[in-house]
């Protein structure tokens, strides 16, 4: 907006220069006007001629001739001044043209200045399905920052039209958070929580955004969010882990250490995750108290992701669904289609909690859905209950945007039902 006004002022100034130059040449009258002065001179000269005639210095014919010449001169001067006045009046149409020039300059600047943004917005809407597909399964071709910006722009447009998508707001907020835009991210998380106040992922993301601000009041509010979540689920490792890392990054080391210590009490001692957290906690405490001056500096704790990937705890083993997909007789499945198998909330966000997609295989097929197939952090298998398993045959690999050619939906499940077996038979739409 600032750039807009600077540009508008500069263009207006350039357009105004000729008119200012013309206007500056107009002489302002001061004291007695030129016409009044001419009339005064005429009357004075007429009196002198009359006195000369009365004294006999000039004849009557000379008197008449001089008087006629004097009147003629006055008339010529008056006509000349009227013509000049009309000429000066022509400046006003020029000022009208100047006004039109200013308006035209502003319109052109607005159109030209925003053309790139309009094209970018149109491009984002056109590419949104493809970008969403790559976002859900990046593989060897993850989104670049520019493409992520395009996707966020298109997503924001959809949210403006359909603002009741809590998971859409959550995803948009996380994208903004990844770019460090705390205000936009916080606003998005608030919108998500207005729609789903008990959404754990939205609460955790909101707390993270608040803590990242570095403001004491917001950090305290983030702590209250963690406390509220843990009051209902004291052993929730997702909440404890997020609390520990977020508060550590915010400088709240005591609270972070307490969260990690609580995790050690919950996680089995023979778990790789338990070992990773214990080592990180020991190192950080040593550095804090100066017990190990030769320790390598660590600005933040080592990520648990490597340990979680190798973890074989009961929880990780239990969150497994064996899915067998078959097709009823008589349906013709296109060879260029895709098979998408995913778990979704029965009543809640449409975004899958776990998903697998592949070019259409031979059926029947058995595969596994686990927490490792989650699309988003803190929204893994069983995050929302009850949930159901869906198998779809689609023309594109995007769960959210592709229309189903064939579909099968399983019965409702809860986390306590896992591990389990689900059999799905594809039927025509």
pLDDT tier at 249, thresholds 50, 70, 90:
confident
Res 32 pLDDT > 70: no
pLDDT given at position 298: 44
CATH for 319-428 is 2.60.40
Average pLDDT, the chain: 76
pLDDT tier at 264, thresholds 50, 70, 90:
very high
Res 293 pLDDT > 80: no
Lowest-confidence range among 195-204, 248-257, 374-383? Answer: 374-383
pLDDT given at position 280: 77
Res 308 pLDDT > 60: no
pLDDT given at position 348: 62
pLDDT given at position 136: 67
- Residue 320 DSSP symbol: E
Check residues 182 and 8 and name the one with the higher pLDDT.
182
Residues 6+ apart with CB under 8 A from 352: 342, 343, 344, 375, 399
Check residues 195 and 87 and name the one with the higher pLDDT.
195
pLDDT tier at 311, thresholds 50, 70, 90:
very low
Nearest to residue 377, comparing CAs of 220, 254, 204, 153? 204
pLDDT given at position 310: 44
CATH for 138-291 is 1.25.40.10
Query: What's the mean pLDDT in 105-118?
Result: 58
Res 316 pLDDT > 50: no
pLDDT given at position 409: 93
pLDDT given at position 314: 44
CA distances from 219 to 68, 206, 239 (A): 98, 11, 16
pLDDT given at position 271: 85
Res 72 pLDDT > 60: yes
12 SS3 class: helix
Percent of the chain with pLDDT over 70: 64
- Residue 28 DSSP symbol: P
Neighbours of 152 (CB within 10 A): 23
Percent of the chain with pLDDT over 90: 20
Token pair, residue 302, equals: 């080592």
Res 421 pLDDT > 60: yes
Res 125 pLDDT > 70: no
Residue burial 28-67, b: 16+ Cβ < 10 Å; e: rest: eeeeeeeeeebeeebeebeeebeeebeeeebeeeebeebe
């Amino acid at each position: 907006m600032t750039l807009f006004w600077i540009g508008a002022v500069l263009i207006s100034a350039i357009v105004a220069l000729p008119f200012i130059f013309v206007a500056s040449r107009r002489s302002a009258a001061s004291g007695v006007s030129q016409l009044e002065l001419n009339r005064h001179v005429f009357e004075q000269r007429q009196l002198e001629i009359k006195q000369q005639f009365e004294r006999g210095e000039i004849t009557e014919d000379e008197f008449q001739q001089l008087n006629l010449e004097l009147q003629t001169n006055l008339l010529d001067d008056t006509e000349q001044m009227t013509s000049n006045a009309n000429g000066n009046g022509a400046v006003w149409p020029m000022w009208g043209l100047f006004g039109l020039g200013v308006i035209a300059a502003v319109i052109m600047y607005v159109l030209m200045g925003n053309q790139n943004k309009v094209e970018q917005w149109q491009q984002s809407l056109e590419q949104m399905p493809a970008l969403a597909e790559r976002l859900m399964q990046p593989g060897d071709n993850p989104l670049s920052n520019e493409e992520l910006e395009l996707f966020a722009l298109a997503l924001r447009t959809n949210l403006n039209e359909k603002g009741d998508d809590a998971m859409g707001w959550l995803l948009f907020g996380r994208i903004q958070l990844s770019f460090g835009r705390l205000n936009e991210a916080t606003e998005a998380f608030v919108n998500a929580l207005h729609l789903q106040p008990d959404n754990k992922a939205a609460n955790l993301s909101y707390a993270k955004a608040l803590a990242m601000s570095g403001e004491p009041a917001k950090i305290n509010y983030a702590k209250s969010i963690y406390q509220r979540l843990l009051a209902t689920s004291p052993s929730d490792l997702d909440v404890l882990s997020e609390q520990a890392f977020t508060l550590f990054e915010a400088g709240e080391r005591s609270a972070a250490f307490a969260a990690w210590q609580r995790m050690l009490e919950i996680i089995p001692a023979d778990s790789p995750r338990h070992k990773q957290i214990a080592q990180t906690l020991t190192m950080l405490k040593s550095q804090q108290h100066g017990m190990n001056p030769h320790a390598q500096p660590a600005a933040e704790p080592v990520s648990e992701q490597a340990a979680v990937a190798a973890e074989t705890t009961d929880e990780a083993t239990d969150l497994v669904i064996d899915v067998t997909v078959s097709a009823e007789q008589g349906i013709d499945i296109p060879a260029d289609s895709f098979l998408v198998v995913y778990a979704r909330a029965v009543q809640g966000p449409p975004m899958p909690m776990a998903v697998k997609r592949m070019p259409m295989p031979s059926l029947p097929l058995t595969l596994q859905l686990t927490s490792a197939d989650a699309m988003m952090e803190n929204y893994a298998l069983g995050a929302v209950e009850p949930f159901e398993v869906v198998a779809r045959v689609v023309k594109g690999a995007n769960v959210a945007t592709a229309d189903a050619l064939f579909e099968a939906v399983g019965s409702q499940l809860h986390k306590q039902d896992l591990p389990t077996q689900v059999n799905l038979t594809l039927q025509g739409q």
